[in-house]
Amino acid sequence: MVLASGTSNSSSLNDVEPGLLGFVVVAGIGLALVFLLRSMNKQFRKIGPPPEETEAEGASEGVSQRPLRGLAAHRAAMAAAAEAEANAESAAEPTDADRD
């Protein structure tokens, strides 16, 4: 009798849900990831530029700056390219002395 009643209700016996334990495990892994990323960023901030760059730039500027990253680096590169293009165009234009 037990076997007969078990076969008709087999779908409810095989339904397994993660429940509270699954949530706690995933939340714990997420929390550990947050703390590990914070610690990694803190360690990366401690790393300075190589000594040869510090000596060359530090003597002229006095205050060391962090290298540009991401959008700021892209904008600086585009500005430098535009400036170089403007310099090339102005060098290519003939002056008044060259026209005569």
Output the pLDDT for position 31: 98
- Please give the full DSSP string across 7-63, using - where no structure is assigned: HHTHHHHH----HHHHHHHHHHHHHHHHHHHHHHHHHHHH----HHHHHHHHHHHSS
Output the pLDDT for position 23: 94
User: 64 Cβ partners below 8 Å, 6+ apart?
Assistant: 48, 49, 54, 57, 58
Output the pLDDT for position 58: 53
User: pTM of whole model > 0.75?
Assistant: no
Q: What is the pLDDT along the chain (100 residues), one digit of tens a residue?
A: 455 555 555 666 778 788 999 999 999 999 999 999 999 999 988 887 667 755 555 555 555 567 778 888 888 889 999 998 888 888 776 665 555 5
